[in-house]
Amino acid sequence: MYQGASNFAQGVDNTFMFIFAISIFFLVVLTATMIWFVIKYNRKKHPNPTQIKDSLKLEVTWTVIPLILVLAMFYYGYVIYKPMRNAPDDAIPIKVVGRMWDWTFEYPNGKMARELVVPLDKPIKLVMNSADVIHSLYIPAFRIKEDLVPGQETYMWFIPTIQDTFEILCAEYCGLRHAFMTSKAIVIPESDYETWLITEGQGKDEHPGLLVLQNNACMSCHSMDGSKLVGPSFKGLFNARRTIVVDKQEIQITVDGEYIKKSILDPDSEIVKGYAPKLMRSYKDVISEEELDQIVDYFIKEGPI
């Protein structure tokens, strides 16, 4: 027996198979007809072409049949799509923020997580926003996908029907590390979800500065282990000697709090040698003064060495 991972899976699959079957049918019929025509009306057998008068019967047939088919496809798709736009009132709202190149999920009680944890058989409404460019939250197993547009709130909803862990992807090309913009949808029993919700999120004993870095997806461009991603690594950052490029001049500096703050608020003013400019946005108005201090404090005390 077919069992989809969400309430929409079966309907979406049926619609897909319906359209797919029609496509296969016509692919076979048209290809066969074409081959048959090529053989039957081969030039060697029919050296002189004959004029064929139009046929009303034929023209009506090949207009009406495709019309009925495309209307059926539309109807089928519409009937399945419509409920996807009507989230039930009791759906659990979870805020989603997509940013280059990570996802954050905020639960009704304010808990933040990097993974989507949801209770089995309960309606969930994802209320989505983008912090930078257009992203698209795609959960293939649930057969749902919706764009996240900067400055605009979008949503989608679903009821998870299988207890398991599923892939989350970004389905809208959003820059260099788009392919790494993944997460997990974890479906657990409702009682486990209630417990999960009130237990402190991962990293609650961690330094607040590290949490700020995580919540802003800093590590999707700056590694902790020294490997070179889009931006320079955070490894051994504080007090490190760096060569930076300012107005095409190379300058040697020692990383301090002021430098770290400036790099967050005005990333293009000083670029570390060997890295491209205009890849990082300014985090002015996104990361507060207090959070900046927490970040600096983190790098002084606990940053990756």
φ, ψ for residue 176, nearest 5 deg: -50, -50
135 is an interface residue for Cu ion by CB under 5 A: yes
By rule CB under 5 A, what count of residues binds Cu ion?
4
Between 99 and 143, name the residue whose CB sits nearer to Cu ion: 99
Measured between alpha carbons, how far is 98 from 103 in angstroms, rounded to an integer? 5
Candidate ranges 15-23, 163-171, 196-204, 243-251; the one touching Cu ion (CB under 5 A): 163-171
Site stretch for Cu ion (CB under 5 A), options 83-91, 166-174, 186-194, 216-224: 166-174
Residue 148 interacts with Cu ion (CB under 5 A): yes or no:
no
Q: Does 271 bind Cu ion (CB under 5 A)?
A: no
* Stretch (H or E) spanning 244: strand 241-246
CB of 133 to Cu ion, least distance (A): 7
Longest Cα separation, the chain: 90
CB under 5 A: which stretch of 121-129, 131-139, 151-159, 214-222 binds Cu ion? 131-139
Supply the minimum distance, in Å, between the C-beta of residue 221 and Cu ion. 13
Q: Please write down the HEC assignment for all residues of 40-103.
A: HCCCCCCCCCCCCCCCHHHHHHHHHHHHHHHHHHHHHHHHHHHHHHCCCCCCEEEEEEEECCEE
Per-residue contact flags (x/-) with Cu ion for residues 169 to 208, judged by CB under 5 A: -x---x------x---------------------------
Q: Which is nearer to Cu ion, 9 or 137 (CB)?
A: 137
CA-nearest of 88, 65, 75 to 7 is 88
Between 114 and 261, whose beta carbon lies closer to Cu ion?
114
Q: Which is nearer to Cu ion, 170 or 295 (CB)?
A: 170
Tell me the window of 112-120, 137-145, 167-175, 248-256 that interacts with Cu ion (CB under 5 A): 167-175
Of the pair 135, 222, the CB lying nearest Cu ion is at 135
Task: Please check whether residue 134 is in contact with residue 148, taking contact to mean a CB–CB distance below 8 angstroms.
Answer: yes
Q: Tally the C-alpha atoms within 13 A of residue 35's C-alpha that lie toward its C-beta.
A: 5
Look up tokens 């070179």; give the residue. 228
| Shortest distance (Å) from residue 170 CB to Cu ion | 3
Angle of CA points 251, 257, 261, to nearest 5°: 85
Residue by residue, DSSP assigns 92-156 as EEEEEEEETTEEEEE-TTS-EESSEEEETTS-EEEEEEESSS-EEEEEGGGTEEEEE-BTS-EEE
Interface with Cu ion (CB under 5 A)? 135, 170, 174, 181
